[in-house]
């Protein structure tokens, strides 16, 4: 009897062991299938280098894009902030994969000079309706009935904005090498302002900080403005400052044909085309990374949101960690839209890889 019981126990152990092995063998093995992971993460194993201009809004835009790329599996390197001419050169020759804040009309010169579509492509519209023009404080405008840039040909009007004592109006302009430098210099010539207006150049944010300081002292101010930027949050158009009209539309030939209709805003001719901020990406990178290309095509951030981010920068949140956090906070507020962009980009990369 004891021998039979031992034999039964032994047989039972064998049966249970066999059943255990069978159950394990029948389990799905999704986690061990690398093909599945690659399809859902089309950027897996790919390092991406991005560039922006030295403007703080550009770093914010680039971080939004980079977070999207990371969701697709790409490894993003730290954003390189470079001068406008240098960043175009870097994307053209492949040192950088993409540049986030290319102004389609204003920076056309740099696009053409560095190989144009043979080297890189303009992709998507990340910020639309980007404005540029000239503003003065509303108090001075109302008191002296100033509405046009052309009125600065009058030495008495120009002297109101003289901040260095040489008798000429000081126009706070932009950084040397930027596209707006060419526009401002061109306007001083074609509108006959060389004798009465001088173009102050340097770091744009420092120039604008000086403008704000002068305004607080209730001194007249004259400055070139582009948006997105923090300045409209401090000097609100229509309340604290006004746009100056120009007598006619004339722009550097590098910008191509620009009509008067393209430089109009609310019935005023601002003299500079309402522009679109786009991503410029190296051709080889785009060809090899359809998921990234689709993401570039989809991401769009309202200019009001970028201006709001710029106000945070003006309030002191101005380092690279802040820009990353601003991007994360913007994404959280727009999570459904952002997730949709990423998913569509993911599907694009997956579908093309299967062909």
The rounded distance, in Å, linking the Cα atoms of 5 and 291 is 66
Is the distance from CB of 201 to CB of 176 less than 8 angstroms? yes
Residues 219 and 319 in one domain: no
- Looking at residue 302, its pLDDT comes to 97
The rounded distance, in Å, linking the Cα atoms of 103 and 335 is 27
- Looking at residue 40, its pLDDT comes to 84
- Looking at residue 355, its pLDDT comes to 54
- Looking at residue 39, its pLDDT comes to 66
CATH of residue 80: 3.40.190.10
Residue 233 pLDDT level (bands cut at 50, 70, 90): confident
**Domain end among 237, 269, 301:** 269
Domain count, the chain: 2
Please state, rounded to an integer, the average pLDDT across all residues of the chain: 90
The rounded distance, in Å, linking the Cα atoms of 306 and 326 is 10
Is the distance from CB of 219 to CB of 291 less than 8 angstroms? no
The predicted-structure confidence for 150-198, as pLDDT tens digits, reads as follows 999 999 999 999 999 999 999 999 999 999 999 999 999 999 999 999 9
The predicted-structure confidence for 323-335, as pLDDT tens digits, reads as follows 999 999 999 999 9
Place of tokens 């802040």: 322
Q: Is residue 224 part of a domain?
A: yes
- Looking at residue 36, its pLDDT comes to 40
The predicted-structure confidence for 238-292, as pLDDT tens digits, reads as follows 999 999 999 999 999 988 899 999 999 999 999 999 999 999 999 999 999 999 9
Query: For 313-318, what is the mean pLDDT?
Result: 93
Centroid of chain to Cα 268: 26
**Domain end among 220, 252, 269:** 269
Whether 3 has a pLDDT exceeding 90, the answer reads: no
**Domain end among 228, 249, 269:** 269
Residues 349 and 293 in one domain: yes
Q: Provide the residue range defining the domain that includes 249.
A: 135-269
Residues 265 and 292 in one domain: no
Q: What pTM was computed for the model?
A: 0.84
Rounded to the nearest 10 degrees, what angle do helices 290-298 and 56-71 cross at?
A: 130
Q: Is residue 210 part of a domain?
A: yes
Residues 346 and 236 in one domain: no
Q: Which pairing describes strands 222-226 and 132-137: parallel, antiparallel, or unpaired? A: antiparallel
Residues 216 and 290 in one domain: no
């Amino acid at each position: 009897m004891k021998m039979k019981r031992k034999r039964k126990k032994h047989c039972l152990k064998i049966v249970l062991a066999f059943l255990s092995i069978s159950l394990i063998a029948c389990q799905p093995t999704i986690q061990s299938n690398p093909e599945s992971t690659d399809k859902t993460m089309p950027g897996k194993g790919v390092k991406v280098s991005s560039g922006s201009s030295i403007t703080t809004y550009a770093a914010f835009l680039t971080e939004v894009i980079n977070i999207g790329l990371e969701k697709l599996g790409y490894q993003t390197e730290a954003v390189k902030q470079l001068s406008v001419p240098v960043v175009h050169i870097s994307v053209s020759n492949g040192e950088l994969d993409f540049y986030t804040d290319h102004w389609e009309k204003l920076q056309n010169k740099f696009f053409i000079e560095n190989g144009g579509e043979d080297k890189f492509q303009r992709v998507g519209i990340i910020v639309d309706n980007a404005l540029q023009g000239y503003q003065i404080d509303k108090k001075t405008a109302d008191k002296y009935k100033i509405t046009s840039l052309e009125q600065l040909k009058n030495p008495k009007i120009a002297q109101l904005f003289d901040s260095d004592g040489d008798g000429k109006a000081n126009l706070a302009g932009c950084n040397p090498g930027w596209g707006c430098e060419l526009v401002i210099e061109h306007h001083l010539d074609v509108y006959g302002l060389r004798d009465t207006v001088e173009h102050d150049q340097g770091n744009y944010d420092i120039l604008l900080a000086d403008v704000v300081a002068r305004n607080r002292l209730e001194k007249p101010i004259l400055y070139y403005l582009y948006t997105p930027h923090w300045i409209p949050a401090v000097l609100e158009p229509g309340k604290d400052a006004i746009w100056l009209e120009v007598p006619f539309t004339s722009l550097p030939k590098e910008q191509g044909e620009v009509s008067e209709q393209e430089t109009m805003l609310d019935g005023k001719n601002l003299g500079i085309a309402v522009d679109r901020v786009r991503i410029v990406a190296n051709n080889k990178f785009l060809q090899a990374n359809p998921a990234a290309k689709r993401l570039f095509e989809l991401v769009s951030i309202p200019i009001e949101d970028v201006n709001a981010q710029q106000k945070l920068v003006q309030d002191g949140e101005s380092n690279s960690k802040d820009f990353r956090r601003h991007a994360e906070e913007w994404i959280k507020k727009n999570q459904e839209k952002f997730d949709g962009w990423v998913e569509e980009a993911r599907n694009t990369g997956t579908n093309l890889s299967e062909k």
